[in-house]
Structure 1
Amino acid sequence: MTTTKRIGLATCRALPDLDADDRPLLEELTDRGFRAEPLVWDDPDIDWSAFDLVVVRSTWDYSPRRDEFVAWARRVPRLLNPAEVLAWNTDKGYLRVLEEAGIPVIPTIWLDPARHLSKRAVHTRMPAFGDFVVKPVVGAGAKDAGRYQPVSAQSRALAISHAVGLLDAGRAVMIQPYVTSVDTAGETGLVFIDGELSHAVRKDALLTGPSSESDEPYLREQMMPAQATEEQVAVARRALAVAAKELDLDRPLLYARVDLVTGDDGTPMVIELELTEPSLWLQHDGDGASLGAFADAIAARVA
């Protein structure tokens, strides 16, 4: 007598039935002979050991509770991507590792709450020219991020208040120049499944002004299919190789998304390396093959 193997797709309370992009995975995995179901990651009643595999998907409310999320990941016996990857990737300090390895990234000023910086000290660290972005080091998407103009006293004051508020809450802060190409070309996300490039998507600019309060755990993004350039693919592959070396991985990650922007000199730069819970935008792959490829990759990890 055979027992149907169980696959859990981890999500958040705001999306107990998964995000619309991931929902078709349930049927695909069922068609492959598995029992697949969505699971809210912080549900205390779930026995995670009862699943043959748990795949992290739309756990988009983790950032205010990162330590709790990482602790949960370490308790799940068979989790993909693995807990050590999630622990490394949920703190954007990984961008320093990429930069040290020669990967082009956006120049960043890092503010540590442990230093108890005054408003004046925060003020002196902000750019004097060009729009800039203030955001938390631990955060999802563009939530709690804002765009500011140094030439406006009001905007600069809002930026200082934003940064100080994050620091006072014990959250480390990043300050980066705003990459102006985002307003015209957007961001390009390269989706990898089991180490292979699947497809690319374009995301239009989300940051148009200061950070605003929101009870939503994530911000909705408008996406469209894109064609990645050879230069973008090369940078993305190099970034993933650095991550694999840093994490001592012995096989490709089940999923990854590398988000790139274009610098003033035309160089693709990594804005984020999404290895935790990225939208894979499977419906924007152009030929519909990515959904099946993702289901096949998951099935191969269970076998």
Structure 2
Amino acid sequence: MTSAVGARYDDDLPRIVDALRAGGLAAEAVAWDADSPGWDGFDLAVIRSTWDYSERLDEFLAWADRTAGATLLCNPAPVVRWNSDKRYLLELAERGVPVVPTRFVEPGDRCEEADVDQAGGVVVKPAVSAGARDTARYEPGRSADAVRHARTLLDQGRTVMVQPYLRRVEEGERALVFLGGAFSHAIRKGPVLTEPGVVDNDRVAHPGVTPYRPTGEELAAARAALAAVPEPGPLLFARVDLALDDAGRPVVMELELIEPNLFLQSDPQALGRLAEAVTEAVAGVAGPTIGP
């Protein structure tokens, strides 16, 4: 599945469709909110570039539930719902997964400077968002600016996340991609929040992408995060975003299970692995018709 914006900007989508068709499957790219797409006519529906979902969350989650009742949805609707709100980081931490320390402030609560006081600065963002929308970082001594940002989000009825700014993110964020439950490839990209105190919803979400070989500790952190997802069985696709804390240990920034960029062009085997994972997922379903 895609969306209006995804159809315009998802460079991987036509390549995925072509690879599936080359493998003998009848594949079609369909917008998730298309009129009467007839999801029961597909054996498998694969969420890909539904990049407007966070702005229409209730509508999207209701769609996921309906679609899962008509066909096999990947990733599953309960995972989509769980992963749509970044309060899942609390569950990961409770299960022993190393995550960026995160404070959540709920609508109706007061946000004061003490809530955003971190020696190295803070990041303020909504708990439901994608592509670093409505997100900014604040240098030490700019707590009043961070509070104003948080209160603006709270006034909109949105839950706010406050995290310490990890300085070593400037060495590059790591994104580890898993396909069919197995590690496939990884990339490193430049920092997104390059200018402090600025909310820029037009910023490049993945600057300076380069292939990357993760360390054993990074792989262990990513696998621990995936093992903590409250859904049995391997996911069709997953991306685990990591950064290094001040001690150089990898911590989970986000767990991307809904519509992540999988950076398929960064590894020559990645597209084939995804096509194989989709083929295996549909193998037990009658009739090879796939809707990515």
TM-score (norm 1): 0.87
| TM-superposed deviation, 1:17 | 5.6
> Contact between 2:2 and 2:51, CA under 8 Å: does it hold in 1?
yes
Partner of 2:228: 242
268, 275, 279: which one pairs with 1:295?
275
Of 205-214 and 228-237, deviating more is 205-214
> Contact between 2:192 and 2:205, CA under 8 Å: does it hold in 1?
no
SS at structure 1 position matched to 2:16: helix
Aligned mates of 2:20, 2:12 — CA distance in 1 = 14
| TM-superposed deviation, 1:203 | 1.6
| TM-superposed deviation, 1:270 | 0.4
Compared CA separation, residues 128 and 236, structure 1 to 2 (3 A):
closer
Cα deviations across residues 4-38 of structure 1 (Å, max 9, x unaligned)?
A: xxxxxx11211226610232111111111222121
Report the aligned-residue RMSD. 1.6
Aligned mates of 2:103, 2:189 — CA distance in 1 = 24
What aligned pairs does 1:158-173 form with structure 2 within 5 A after superposition?
A: 158-173=145-160
| TM-superposed deviation, 1:60 | 1.1
Cα deviations across residues 246-297 of structure 1 (Å, max 9, x unaligned)?
A: 22x1x21000111111111121100011111111101112xx1110111011
Partner of 1:38: 29
Partner of 2:289: none
Compared CA separation, residues 220 and 266, structure 1 to 2 (3 A):
closer
> Contact between 2:75 and 2:258, CA under 8 Å: does it hold in 1?
yes
> Contact between 1:17 and 1:23, CA under 8 Å: does it hold in 2?
no
Partner of 1:137: 127
Partner of 1:201: 187
96, 100, 103: which one pairs with 2:94?
100
Aligned mates of 1:101, 1:279 — CA distance in 2 = 26
> Contact between 2:168 and 2:246, CA under 8 Å: does it hold in 1?
yes
Aligned mates of 2:60, 2:125 — CA distance in 1 = 20
Aligned mates of 1:211, 1:171 — CA distance in 2 = 19
Aligned mates of 2:216, 2:155 — CA distance in 1 = 43
Q: Gaps (5+ residues) in structure 1?
A: 1-9
SS at structure 1 position matched to 2:6: coil
| TM-superposed deviation, 1:48 | 1.6
| TM-superposed deviation, 1:211 | 4.1
1:135 counterpart letter in structure 2: K
Aligned mates of 2:126, 2:162 — CA distance in 1 = 9
> Contact between 2:120 and 2:166, CA under 8 Å: does it hold in 1?
no
Aligned mates of 1:22, 1:202 — CA distance in 2 = 22
Partner of 1:191: 177
TM-score (norm 2): 0.90
Compared CA separation, residues 50 and 122, structure 1 to 2 (3 A):
farther
1:289 counterpart letter in structure 2: Q
Residue 147 in 1 paired to residue 137 in 2? yes
Partner of 1:29: 20
| TM-superposed deviation, 1:44 | 2.9
2:44 counterpart letter in structure 1: L
1:267 counterpart letter in structure 2: R
What aligned pairs does 1:1-303 form with structure 2 within 5 A after superposition?
A: 10-16=1-7, 19-76=10-67, 77=70, 78-115=72-109, 117=110, 121-152=111-142, 156-183=143-170, 185-208=171-194, 209-212=196-199, 214=201, 219-222=204-207, 223-243=209-229, 246-247=230-231, 249=232, 251-285=233-267, 288-303=268-283
Compared CA separation, residues 49 and 14, structure 1 to 2 (3 A):
same
| TM-superposed deviation, 1:175 | 0.4
SS at structure 2 position matched to 1:40: coil
Cα deviations across residues 208-228 of structure 1 (Å, max 9, x unaligned)?
A: 2234364x6x84312110010
Aligned mates of 2:282, 2:8 — CA distance in 1 = 22
Q: Gaps (5+ residues) in structure 2?
A: 284-292
Cα deviations across residues 131-181 of structure 1 (Å, max 9, x unaligned)?
A: 2100011111311110111314xxx33322211111111110000000101
Aligned mates of 2:97, 2:198 — CA distance in 1 = 28
2:78 counterpart letter in structure 1: E
| TM-superposed deviation, 1:207 | 0.4
